């Protein structure tokens, strides 16, 4: 008998713990040739904003030895276009849909969450309060008070699963997490990218027009693992782990540290079938050890100190 990979967060049961990180899986059906969307635990959309955004100027992506710098700047066509053009596509897929949203004000977040709360196709909302690539975005994760304000206001307008995406660049990371818990978030995504830069030594100019970009990929995995562990050690709250997850062992590290789910991001660009391979690998790991459920692995890390 196959092991039970299902995961429950709030009132939603996900068929397995493997999902995708926002912004790394296209905006509709781009990965259908490689990934069976019906086998994913959840689908997390590219960030949607209240109004269309053109994003940052080019160049805005640069590959690093152990990952990628990106400064896309939340380019998207806005919430109205998303509801009209994207929702019909996702409505045909029997996989929970998590919509990632970002705003320049608390009012923006509230407006977006309210519009999405009326859609039966949407299972949950992921609050992107930690994007490092826009002028207004990271500040909501910079202080516990600001984080509390945006999460509590969004919580007041939507009964749907509420996930808050947090950044290690917050000066008081655990303080921000605690504020979000008190404000009513149901779960966290940890972590967002970390600001970095690269320089063209011939031109003596930054590789990115935005100068700084968000570093993702294997380079940040140990950092992400540390923060997932820190959250789980202090708070009884579900965490969706993100940050350099490329293979089964990477995913299992996060689950053993306490993560409920794992979001594959940059790896999708390198190996489009990464999610399917990781899912298969987790099932094999449990089967070989005669474990009946993913619950028997989650949070089992042994720490002596």
Local structure of 41: helix, strand or coil: coil
Rounded Cα distance, 258 and 240, in Å = 9
Residue 132: predicted pLDDT: 66
Using the predicted structure, report yes or no on whether residue 131 has a pLDDT greater than 80.
no
Rounded Cα distance, 126 and 80, in Å = 18
Closest to 72 (Cα-Cα) out of 96, 91, 35, 100: 100
Residue 1: predicted pLDDT: 84
The whole model's pTM is what?
0.96
The distance from CA 17 to its chain's CA centroid, rounded to whole angstroms, is 13
pLDDT per residue over 4-20, tens digit each? 999 999 999 999 999 99
pLDDT tier at 193, thresholds 50, 70, 90: very high
In this structure, are residues 95 and 131 in contact, taking their beta carbons and an 8 Å threshold?
no
Rounded Cα distance, 72 and 146, in Å = 24
Structural domains of the chain ordered from first start: 7-56+70-196+216-296 (3.20.20.70)
Strands 187-190 and 239-242: parallel
Report the C-alpha dihedral over residues 36, 37, 43, 49, rounded to 10 degrees: 110
pLDDT tier at 192, thresholds 50, 70, 90: very high
Give the burial string for 114-135 (b: 16+ CB within 10 Å, else e): ebbeeeebbbbbbbbbbbbbbe
Local structure of 232: helix, strand or coil: helix
Using the predicted structure, report yes or no on whether residue 138 has a pLDDT greater than 70.
no
- For the packed helices 221-234 and 248-257, what is the interaxial angle rounded to 10 degrees? 20
Residue 72: predicted pLDDT: 95
pLDDT tier at 150, thresholds 50, 70, 90: very high
In this structure, are residues 258 and 299 in contact, taking their beta carbons and an 8 Å threshold?
yes
In this structure, are residues 41 and 7 in contact, taking their beta carbons and an 8 Å threshold?
yes
Active site residue 180: no
Q: Which residues contact residue 34 at a Cβ distance below 8 angstroms, ignoring those fewer than 6 apart?
A: 272, 273, 276
Q: Which among 111, 131, 141, 180 is annotated as catalytic?
A: 131
Rounded Cα distance, 16 and 133, in Å = 31
Residue 137: predicted pLDDT: 55
Q: Residues, the chain, total? A: 305
Residue 171: predicted pLDDT: 87
């Amino acid at each position: 008998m196959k092991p039970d990979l299902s995961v429950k967060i709030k009132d939603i049961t996900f068929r397995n713990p493997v999902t995708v990180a926002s912004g790394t899986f296209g905006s509709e059906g781009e990965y259908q040739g490689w990934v069976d969307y019906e086998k994913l635990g959840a689908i997390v959309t590219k960030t949607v904003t209240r109004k269309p955004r053109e994003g940052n100027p080019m160049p805005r992506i640069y590959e690093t030895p152990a990952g990628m710098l990106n400064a896309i700047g939340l380019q998207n066509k806005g919430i109205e276009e998303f509801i009209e053009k994207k929702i019909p596509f996702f409505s045909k897929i029997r996989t929970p849909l998590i919509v990632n949203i970002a705003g320049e004000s608390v009012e923006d977040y509230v407006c977006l969450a309210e519009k999405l709360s009326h859609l039966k196709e949407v299972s949950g909302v992921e609050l992107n309060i930690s994007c490092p690539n826009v002028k207004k975005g990271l500040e909501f994760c910079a202080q516990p008070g600001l984080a509390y304000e945006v999460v509590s206001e969004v919580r007041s307008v939507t009964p749907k699963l509420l996930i808050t995406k947090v950044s290690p660049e917050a000066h008081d990371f655990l303080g921000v997490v605690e504020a979000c818990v008190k404000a009513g978030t149901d779960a966290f995504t940890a972590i967002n990218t970390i600001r970095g830069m690269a320089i063209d030594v011939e031109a003596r100019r930054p590789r990115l027009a935005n100068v700084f970009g968000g570093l993702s990929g294997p380079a940040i995995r140990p950092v992400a693992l540390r923060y997932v562990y820190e959250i789980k050690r202090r708070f009884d709250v579900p965490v969706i782990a993100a940050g350099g997850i490329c293979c089964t062992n990477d995913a299992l590290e996060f689950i053993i540290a306490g993560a409920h789910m794992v979001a594959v991001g940059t790896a999708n660009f390198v190996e489009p079938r990464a999610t399917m391979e990781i899912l298969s690998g987790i099932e094999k790991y449990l089967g070989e050890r005669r474990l009946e459920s993913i619950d028997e692995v989650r949070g089992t890390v042994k720490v002596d100190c």
